């Protein structure tokens, strides 16, 4: 009987400690959520009204991150909790071309020692359209960095209309000029598509009378400009395949689909995997060149109307 009383007392003691700890954890959770809401309210962010991915750094230490932001960063293949990986990202932004401009812009502001900064971008990442916001402020002697992400894929149809309108405006402006620079023309198109994260690389190749394919514009990044590239008639590359066959070509993985058949093969310019969509330039029934849309990663293009509507 004594052992039962001892057992009962032990259970009561354990349960008491458990409930005290649970109450303390709940209290801490309420206080931390209240602090988080108060902090984000100071940044103009309201948690209750948006399904946001959020991460917060205080004096360069990651102090808060939620599952939504982890999900979105995983789409990029980035471990955002790793300081080493983030340092590598800022050292080599070209490894993640879809957010290349985001990283280089933040890096530029940091190096200029801009204490307070706000940036907003919208990118197609892993077939989702993600809005990214970056805010850096000094409060109470501490540096706060807040990164938020939000899935706005439902707005993609409106985006297509916007982009097509922007492209149409470029066409009208360029056509009205007395002379057209294909490099400037290509750069303006790439800027629009890259801004929305739809395309990382954009290239325009023209078939010369001697059989060469000349690329007046072909850019991976500002620091990796391959414009001026020339392919000889003997090179049976993907561009040559599109021109010879007069067919569109959608490659989901450049690393897995290098053999195109009939002796044609992809020409590897960079080592990473890319999704490629190639379109022949046809004038008066003859193929005169090729347009290439490329995005870093496997199966990055959704079957959306935007790319497939480009002739």
**Domain encompassing residue 37:** 1-42
Residue 35 confidence class, pLDDT cut points 50, 70, 90: low
CATH code: domain of residue 61: 3.30.450
- Does the pLDDT of residue 308 top 60, yes or no? no
Q: What mean pLDDT comes out for the span 172-190? A: 78
Residue 213 confidence class, pLDDT cut points 50, 70, 90: very high
Which of 151, 184, 205 is a domain's end point? 151
Residues 145 and 246 in one domain: no
Q: What mean pLDDT comes out for the span 105-127? A: 86
Q: What is the pLDDT of residue 139?
A: 76
User: Distance between CA atoms of 26 and 304, rounded to whole angstroms?
Assistant: 46
Residues 102 and 35 in one domain: no
- Does the pLDDT of residue 157 top 80, yes or no? no
- Mean pLDDT score of the chain, rounded to an integer? 78
Residues 28 and 58 in one domain: no
Q: How many separate domains does the chain show?
A: 3
Residues 140 and 243 in one domain: no
Residues 301 and 168 in one domain: yes
Residues 78 and 7 in one domain: no
Q: What mean pLDDT comes out for the span 167-195? A: 78
Residues 143 and 275 in one domain: no
Residues 174 and 301 in one domain: yes
Pick the residue with more confidence: 158 or 110? 110
Residues 161 and 265 in one domain: yes
Residues 55 and 71 in one domain: yes
- Does the pLDDT of residue 254 top 80, yes or no? yes
Residues 86 and 179 in one domain: no
User: Distance between CA atoms of 187 and 278, rounded to whole angstroms?
Assistant: 17
Q: What mean pLDDT comes out for the span 237-257? A: 89
Give the pLDDT confidence of 1-10 residue by residue, as tens digits: 443 333 444 4
Residues 102 and 212 in one domain: no
Q: Which residues pair with residue 217 across a beta bridge?
A: 204
Give the pLDDT confidence of 219-240 residue by residue, as tens digits: 988 788 899 999 999 999 999 9
User: Distance between CA atoms of 117 and 109, rounded to whole angstroms?
Assistant: 8
- Does the pLDDT of residue 257 top 90, yes or no? no
Which of 151, 184, 202 is a domain's end point? 151
């Amino acid at each position: 009987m004594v052992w039962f009383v001892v057992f009962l007392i032990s259970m009561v003691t354990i349960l008491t400690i458990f409930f005290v700890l649970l109450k303390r954890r709940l209290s801490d959770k309420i206080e931390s959520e209240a602090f988080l809401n108060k902090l984000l309210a100071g940044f103009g962010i309201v948690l209750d009204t948006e399904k946001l991915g959020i991460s917060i750094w205080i004096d360069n230490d990651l102090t808060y991150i939620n599952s939504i932001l982890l999900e979105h960063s995983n789409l990029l293949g980035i471990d955002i909790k790793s300081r080493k990986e983030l340092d590598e990202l800022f050292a080599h932004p070209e490894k993640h071309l879809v957010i290349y401009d985001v990283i280089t812009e933040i890096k530029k502001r940091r190096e200029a020692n801009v204490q307070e900064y706000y940036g907003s971008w919208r990118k197609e990442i892993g077939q989702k359209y993600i809005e990214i916001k970056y805010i850096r402020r000094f409060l109470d002697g501490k540096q706060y960095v807040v990164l938020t992400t939000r899935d706005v894929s439902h707005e993609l149809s409106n985006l297509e209309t916007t982009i097509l309108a922007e492209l149409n405006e470029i066409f009208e402006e360029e056509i009205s000029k007395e002379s057209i620079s294909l490099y400037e023309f290509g750069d303006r198109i790439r800027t629009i598509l890259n801004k929305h994260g739809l395309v990382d690389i954009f290239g325009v190749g023209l078939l010369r009378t001697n059989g060469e394919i000349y690329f007046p514009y072909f850019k991976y990044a500002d620091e990796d400009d391959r414009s001026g590239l020339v392919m000889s008639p003997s090179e049976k590359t993907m561009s040559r395949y599109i021109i010879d066959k007069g067919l569109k070509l959608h490659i989901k993985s450049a690393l897995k689909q290098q053999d195109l058949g009939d002796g044609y093969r992809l020409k590897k310019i960079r080592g990473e995997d890319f999704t490629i969509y190639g379109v022949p330039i046809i004038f008066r029934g003859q193929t005169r060149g090729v347009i290439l849309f490329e995005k870093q990663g496997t199966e990055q293009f959704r079957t959306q109307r935007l790319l497939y509507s480009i002739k």
